Amino acid sequence: MVHKIIIAFVILTPLVLSSVINNNVEKCNLSYSIKKEIESYKGFATKIINSVNNQFKHSTYNHLDDFINAYGNRIAGSKNLENAIDYILKKSDLYNLENVHGEEVQVPHWVRGEESATLLYPRYKDLPMLGLGSSVGTPPEGIRAKAVVVSSFDELHKLSKTVKGKIVVYNEKYRNYGDTVVYRRDGASIASQYGAVATLIGSITPFSLATAHTGWQQYAENITKIPTACITKEDANLLHGMYKRRKPIYIEIKMEARTLTSATSRNIVAEIVGNKLPDKVVVISGHIDSWDVGEGAIDDGVGAFVSWNALAILKALGLTARRTIRTILWTAEEEGYIGAFAYAKAHQNETRNLDFVMESDTGTFSPLGFTYSGLPEVGCILQEILNLFTELNITNVQSPIDGGPDISKWVSDGVPGAALFGNLERYFWYHHSAADTMVAVQPDELDQATALWAATSFIIANLSFDMPKHLTPYQFKENDV
Ligand SMILES: *[C@@H]1O[C@H](CO)[C@@H](O)[C@H](O)[C@H]1NC(C)=O
Ligand SMILES: *[C@@H]1O[C@H](CO)[C@@H](O)[C@H](O)[C@H]1NC(C)=O
Ligand SMILES: *[C@@H]1O[C@H](CO)[C@@H](O)[C@H](O)[C@H]1NC(C)=O
Ligand SMILES: *[C@@H]1O[C@H](CO)[C@@H](O)[C@H](O)[C@H]1NC(C)=O
Ligand SMILES: *[C@@H]1O[C@H](CO)[C@@H](O)[C@H](O)[C@H]1NC(C)=O
Ligand SMILES: [Zn+2]
């Protein structure tokens, strides 16, 4: 997976949200009949909220807790991920979901192995670290080298002549995820150009209690692949302090990381088939894979289980909409949206039938509403729908979509799409770290997100009109994925 995808990710996930249309509903030109039609779902929305708060109270949390307890983290290529996928498929049948199946896709299989980083001089200190996905390992005896510490790529460029044979440490400042994650993604490639032998990068998080955060990295073409890992923000800061005091810094890094041959995984699909327009589809989704540390509870256990349980609840309530509601749990999101892009490609001829696509992959912390992309009318329709959720305080509609990596291909093709919008700051505290466990998950917040997901997907799937869209035909090129 090439640069393009990662660039798409960065473009689609600027955490600076613009063109807020909340409170600007008066600028919307929805017809009286459309407004009336959506308002007529007030009773339905209340019914879903009440069901989730009573009959199904904490059911999303409890399902997720069982699942996480049994499987833990689920990295692409692992047998454990496939076992976890089998479990969801089996449970989906048990809940009488329709057209339940897995769709095969080839995924990368990177394994971490044993790894360590140690500060040897000016004083001895273990440096907790996590190797980055796709990183090469070190020779068995490790790499021992002097370190250069910088706070930005600009600083590295200025010091480029001093970098050869050294370990480059980045102590970058966190701005927002999209702007900061470039250090994790490109840090090794940029340092390698100047002859660095390894890179250690301050973890990409706005807040730290000395945890390292992993994630994908991307070697540029034609550079020497050097081992690369994230260390804690605390240690990045410490090393920077030593460097500024002109202390010679020596570090030893040992990593067994390697990439095995690619493996077969599956996207999980389950539906409630529409009773009037079965070929037209509303998608609700999250990813089933995770990193290989922590438990993959918030990234993206919550998004996957909200999308799955919302469908199971609609089914249990005997609700069938005019259009099909399809839950998709993507595989290999963490390696660059591999499952999602393969699915979009395999189903390219159905893109025009996608009425609306939704994704939750930024946690369920304090659900506030939606970020969306699409024609302005889409925002107006979402705002009308959220008017049915005032009792949950879920009323925000903002554009563009922020944090919908797996639906990004469709959204860039003009399919209207939305992501769950909540407290991103809290999400990135835990993201890709050993702290991504059920302790970070709030059962009530999962209920709110589940109610929103179930009611919104049903209402959109049941409207008398399709979501407005302007498709931009896109031809897949082989090197896209
Ligand atoms: C509503 O109509 C006005 C005037 O035609 C236009 O400027 C505005 O962009 C429209 N708003 C939406 C959300 O379509
Ligand atoms: C990488 O090297 C190959 C062969 O020398 C060359 O054809 C290609 O353009 C290079 N790619 C980049 C991005 O420099
Ligand atoms: C898309 O293509 C597949 C396989 O060729 C076919 O089975 C399916 O009916 C097509 N769907 C549409 C909407 O054209
Ligand atoms: C909604 O917000 C109001 C005012 O901030 C607060 O009193 C109320 O408890 C909130 N309700 C929920 C369900 O969070
Ligand atoms: C779904 O739409 C149909 C047809 O417009 C309508 O009869 C039905 O009441 C709607 N379902 C709900 C739950 O509102
Ligand atoms: Zn995720």
How far apart, in Å, do the first and last CA atoms of the chain sit? 5
Residue with tokens 């918030």: 298
pLDDT digits (tens, 9 = 90+) for 206-247: 999 999 999 999 999 999 999 999 999 999 999 999 999 999
Domain of 154, CATH number, reads: 3.50.30.30
Residue 3 lies in a domain: no
Q: Which of 240, 256, 272 lies at the terminal end of a domain, its last residue? A: 256
Task: Take residue 42 and report the two structure tokens written for it.
Answer: 């007030």
Distance, in Å, from the CA atom of 373 to the CA atom of 14, rounded to the nearest integer, reads: 13
Other Cβ atoms less than 10 A from the Cβ of 20: the count is: 12
Looking at the fold, whether 226 and 268 belong to one and the same domain comes out as no
Specify whether the CB–CB gap between 203 and 183 falls below 8 A: no
Give residues (CB < 6 A) around ligand 5: 41, 44, 322, 462, 464
Other Cβ atoms less than 10 A from the Cβ of 413: the count is: 18
Looking at the fold, whether 194 and 315 belong to one and the same domain comes out as no
pLDDT for res 471: 85
Looking at the fold, whether 152 and 242 belong to one and the same domain comes out as yes
Query: Is the pLDDT score of 313 beyond 50?
Result: yes
Distance, in Å, from the CA atom of 384 to the CA atom of 236, rounded to the nearest integer, reads: 47
pTM: 0.91
pLDDT for res 9: 37
Specify whether the CB–CB gap between 339 and 437 falls below 8 A: no
Task: Take residue 164 and report the two structure tokens written for it.
Answer: 């050869």
Which ligand is nearest to the Cα of residue 279, counting in written order?
3
- Mutate which of 29, 372, 382, 399 for ligand 1? The one with the most ligand atoms within 8 Å of its CB, which is 29
Distance, in Å, from the CA atom of 446 to the CA atom of 365, rounded to the nearest integer, reads: 8
393 lines ligand 4 (CB under 6 A): yes
> Range of 318's domain?
18-109+262-480
Which ligand is nearest to the Cα of residue 350, counting in written order?
3
Query: Is the pLDDT score of 12 beyond 50?
Result: no
DSSP 8-state symbol, 7: H
| Section 466-475 average pLDDT | 80
Beta strand 129-131 pairing with 228-231:
antiparallel
222 lines ligand 2 (CB under 6 A): yes
Distance, in Å, from the CA atom of 450 to the CA atom of 188, rounded to the nearest integer, reads: 39
Q: Per-residue confidence at 19, pLDDT binned at 50, 70, 90?
A: very low
Domain of 345, CATH number, reads: 3.40.630.10
Residue 327 lies in a domain: yes
Q: Which of 226, 256, 286 lies at the terminal end of a domain, its last residue? A: 256
Looking at the fold, whether 290 and 430 belong to one and the same domain comes out as yes
Distance, in Å, from the CA atom of 40 to the CA atom of 53, rounded to the nearest integer, reads: 21
Task: Take residue 35 and report the two structure tokens written for it.
Answer: 């407004």
Looking at the fold, whether 232 and 300 belong to one and the same domain comes out as no
Looking at the fold, whether 56 and 194 belong to one and the same domain comes out as no
Looking at the fold, whether 105 and 132 belong to one and the same domain comes out as no
pLDDT digits (tens, 9 = 90+) for 376-400: 999 999 999 999 999 889 999 999 9
Q: Among this protein's residues, is 234 annotated catalytic?
A: no
pLDDT for res 473: 64
Looking at the fold, whether 53 and 179 belong to one and the same domain comes out as no
Specify whether the CB–CB gap between 130 and 284 falls below 8 A: no
Distance, in Å, from the CA atom of 37 to the CA atom of 300, rounded to the nearest integer, reads: 34
The residue contributing the CA closest to ligand 5 atom 2 is: 462
Q: Which of 115, 333, 335, 359 is catalytic?
A: 333
Distance, in Å, from the CA atom of 69 to the CA atom of 55, rounded to the nearest integer, reads: 23
Q: Please give the share of the chain, as a percent, with pLDDT higher than 90.
A: 91
Closest by CA position to 389, among listed 375, 370, 404: 370
Residue 210: which region, alpha, beta or left (left: phi > 0; alpha: psi -120 to 50)? left
Query: Is the pLDDT score of 321 beyond 50?
Result: yes
Q: Which of 207, 232, 256 lies at the terminal end of a domain, its last residue? A: 256
Residue with tokens 């200025």: 158
Distance, in Å, from the CA atom of 121 to the CA atom of 356, rounded to the nearest integer, reads: 56
Residue 245 lies in a domain: yes
Ligand 1: atom nearest CA of 28 is 13
Q: What is the 3-state secondary structure (H, E, C) of 190-203?
A: HHHHCCCCEEEEEC
Secondary structure (3-state) at 477: coil
Other Cβ atoms less than 10 A from the Cβ of 434: the count is: 17
Task: Take residue 407 and report the two structure tokens written for it.
Answer: 């639906």
Residue 9 lies in a domain: no
Ligand 4: atom nearest CA of 393 is 1
Task: Take residue 336 and report the two structure tokens written for it.
Answer: 């660059």
pLDDT for res 271: 98
pLDDT for res 479: 45
User: Which ranges of 245-349 does DSSP label H, i.e. alpha helix?
Assistant: 302-316, 338-346
Task: Tell me the pLDDT of the chain averaged across its residues.
Answer: 93
Closest by CA position to 196, among listed 228, 237, 234: 228
pLDDT for res 238: 98
Q: Per-residue confidence at 474, pLDDT binned at 50, 70, 90?
A: low
Q: Which residues pair with 200 in a beta bridge?
A: 169, 229
Looking at the fold, whether 60 and 119 belong to one and the same domain comes out as no
Phi, psi angles (nearest 5°) of residue 163: -90, -20
Looking at the fold, whether 391 and 465 belong to one and the same domain comes out as yes
Give residues (CB < 6 A) around ligand 1: 27-29, 376-377, 380
pLDDT digits (tens, 9 = 90+) for 165-221: 999 999 999 999 999 999 999 999 999 999 999 999 999 999 999 999 999 999 999
Residue 214 lies in a domain: yes
Looking at the fold, whether 306 and 320 belong to one and the same domain comes out as yes
Residue type, 147: A
Distance, in Å, from the CA atom of 48 to the CA atom of 452, rounded to the nearest integer, reads: 9
pLDDT for res 11: 32
Residue type, 297: A
pLDDT for res 391: 87
Distance, in Å, from the CA atom of 14 to the CA atom of 177, rounded to the nearest integer, reads: 7
Domains: count for the chain: 2
Query: Is the pLDDT score of 263 beyond 70?
Result: yes
pLDDT digits (tens, 9 = 90+) for 26-57: 589 999 999 999 999 999 999 999 999 999 99
Query: Is the pLDDT score of 18 beyond 70?
Result: no
Residue 311 lies in a domain: yes
Query: Is the pLDDT score of 14 beyond 50?
Result: no
Query: Is the pLDDT score of 262 beyond 50?
Result: yes
The dihedral over CA atoms of 430, 435, 439, 444, expressed in degrees to the nearest 10, equals: 20
The residue contributing the CA closest to ligand 1 atom 12 is: 28
pLDDT for res 229: 99
User: Based on C-alpha coordinates, what's the Rg of the chain?
Assistant: 23
Residue 4 lies in a domain: no
Residue type, 186: D
Task: Take residue 188 and report the two structure tokens written for it.
Answer: 């090794």
Looking at the fold, whether 348 and 474 belong to one and the same domain comes out as yes
CA 174 to chain centre: 18
Q: Per-residue confidence at 339, pLDDT binned at 50, 70, 90?
A: very high
Residue type, 25: V
Residue 137 lies in a domain: yes
